[in-house]
Amino acid sequence: MSRLDAVDQYNKAQSRGKKYFNTCKSRGQDPFLKALEEMMKISDLRSVPVGIIEIPMERIAGTYSESRKNVFAGNFMPLPDDHSEFAKKWVDLCEYHLDGSGIADPISCYEYLGDFYVREGNKRVSVLKSYDATEISGNVIRLLPPISDDPEVRLYYEFLDFYKVSRLYNVTFSRSGQYARLQDTLGYEPEQAWPEEVRWEFYNVFTRFSSVFERLNREKLEISPGDALLLYMDVHPYQELRDQTKEEIQARLNKLWPDLRLFAKGEPISLSISHEEKGKSIRSLFLGAPKIHAVFLYDMEPNESSWVFSHDTGRKNLIRQMDGEIDTETLVCDENGVGLVEKAIERGVNVIFATSHKHTGICRRIAADHPNIAVFNCTPNTPYAGVRGYYCRTYEGKFIAGAVAGVVAGSIAHQ
């Protein structure tokens, strides 16, 4: 029975391969596997034995040898006729896999810039990919590119630092600094190794999160699941995420999707000033609107910080200027104060002024969960949907003051 099943599996895999092949040809793209020896001269690179590890299937980018590439479509599905010698060997391997023994022998491959290229075991990869396996065991040799200012190379060396402490290959980022940020978010020092139990827990949590992200990413945002994870954990810390089901993650990630779109664009929100708005008074902005009930979030008491004191002075002046038209209250909290803000909303708060960058996570969560609440964060360049920044551009005044001081002094050099 398993022989018939294996033949049927080959036909299904071949069908997937031909579909991929034809789609690529119609788009003018190479329909075959990438071959590493076509891409570079391996002898020019420094090689480092990594040993046997579990390789994420999604990171297997191609084969090593040019001679092996044309029997597979670019998705590793087989192309030869089902009566060919290649097909017979593929079916034999598939039958062995179905007999219960499974494919356990490690493949041999090179790793370059985080992707894997198979030296030995292409058919093993093909069979397991046809069953949508997520990992395969492999004996890996890492090829190190020369250190340079190339963004891809810099990001790769950041990954290598991350790999030393996490031993994880499945977490990728699209921007520099994200690996260090993840390490910090999880509470570890830059070179602190993860305990084995933490590594496996995070692996399972990340796998669960990634599957939800990939399912939701129908618009094909050019960000990685790792990028999405960090944006998510800004609002829902890891301590929450690790206990959440796929359904809970999906509901929360859906609310944060506008933030992911902004991140994918790669540009912070810029200040836009409409000349048509000139001449309007502050009071006119509130006419005809529901009564404002605003909460001001502070990270310290006003008597403990001149920054907070200035905000609180502004709040009191607002009350005087808008007498009877606005109610305010204050909350002193750190980045973990979401619960306090939720209770304030239950009391009728409909505007939030967060006066510290520490409150950004709170602002994003409230904006996602309560789109009817106006959320303002006093921090420059707030690239998040639903959160508006109102940070004063004091650097312009400082520049002018510095220029004037230079003119008066007659010198810009240090004395």
Based on the fold, state whether residues 1 and 140 are members of the same structural domain. Answer: yes
180 lies in a domain?
yes
pLDDT tier at 323, thresholds 50, 70, 90: confident
End position of a domain, from candidates 237, 267, 297: 267
Give the pLDDT confidence score for residue 396 in this predicted structure. 60
162 lies in a domain?
yes
Specify the length of the chain in residues: 415
pLDDT of 265 above 90: no
How far apart CA 141 and CA 49 sit, in angstroms, is 5
How far apart CA 159 and CA 151 sit, in angstroms, is 12
- The mean per-residue pLDDT over the stretch 117-124 comes to 96
- Is the pTM here over 0.85, yes or no? no
Tokens of 34: 């990438």
Better pLDDT: 28 or 394: 28
39 lies in a domain?
yes
Based on the fold, state whether residues 3 and 125 are members of the same structural domain. Answer: yes
Based on the fold, state whether residues 141 and 151 are members of the same structural domain. Answer: no
Based on the fold, state whether residues 10 and 138 are members of the same structural domain. Answer: yes
Q: Which secondary-structure segment (H or E) carries 244?
A: none
Helix 360-369 / helix 338-346 crossing angle, nearest 10 deg: 40
Based on the fold, state whether residues 36 and 131 are members of the same structural domain. Answer: yes
End position of a domain, from candidates 145, 176, 196: 145
Give residue 107's domain range: 1-145
274 lies in a domain?
no
Based on the fold, state whether residues 351 and 302 are members of the same structural domain. Answer: yes
Q: Kindly list the distances between the CA atom of residue 298 and the CA atoms of 313, 378, 381, in Å, as whole numbers in the listed order.
A: 13, 11, 20
pLDDT of 150 above 60: yes
Residue pair 64/110 in contact (Cβ under 8 Å)? The answer is yes
CA 119 to chain centre: 31
DSSP per residue over 193-233, as a string?
Answer: PPPHHHHHHHHHHHHHHHHHHHHH-TT--S--HHHHHHHHH
334: domain CATH number is 3.40.50.2300
273 lies in a domain?
no
pLDDT tens for 30-70 read 999 999 999 988 888 999 999 999 999 999 999 999 888 88
How far apart CA 208 and CA 243 sit, in angstroms, is 11
Based on the fold, state whether residues 50 and 129 are members of the same structural domain. Answer: yes
Give how many domains the chain has, as a whole number.
3
13 lies in a domain?
yes
**Residue located via tokens 């290649």:** 86
pLDDT tier at 389, thresholds 50, 70, 90: confident
Based on the fold, state whether residues 24 and 79 are members of the same structural domain. Answer: yes
pLDDT tier at 403, thresholds 50, 70, 90: low
**Most confident of the following: 72-81, 285-294, 382-391:** 72-81
Better pLDDT: 288 or 78: 78
- The mean per-residue pLDDT over the stretch 271-289 comes to 47
Based on the fold, state whether residues 45 and 164 are members of the same structural domain. Answer: no
Identify any residues that bridge with 34 across adjacent strands, giving them in sequence order: 62
Give the pLDDT confidence score for residue 272 in this predicted structure. 41
36: domain CATH number is 3.90.1530.10
Average pLDDT for the chain: 88
What is the maximum alpha-carbon separation in the chain? 93
276 lies in a domain?
no
Give the pLDDT confidence score for residue 119 in this predicted structure. 95
Based on the fold, state whether residues 75 and 191 are members of the same structural domain. Answer: no
Tokens of 56: 């994420």
pLDDT tens for 237-264 read 999 999 999 999 999 999 999 989 989 9
How far apart CA 253 and CA 368 sit, in angstroms, is 9
pLDDT tier at 166, thresholds 50, 70, 90: very high
- The mean per-residue pLDDT over the stretch 209-213 comes to 96
101 lies in a domain?
yes
How much of the chain, in percent, has pLDDT values that exceed 70? 87
Give the pLDDT confidence score for residue 409 in this predicted structure. 66
pLDDT of 346 above 80: yes
Based on the fold, state whether residues 162 and 191 are members of the same structural domain. Answer: yes
How much of the chain, in percent, has pLDDT values that exceed 90? 64
How far apart CA 281 and CA 217 sit, in angstroms, is 43
Based on the fold, state whether residues 137 and 162 are members of the same structural domain. Answer: no
End position of a domain, from candidates 100, 126, 145: 145
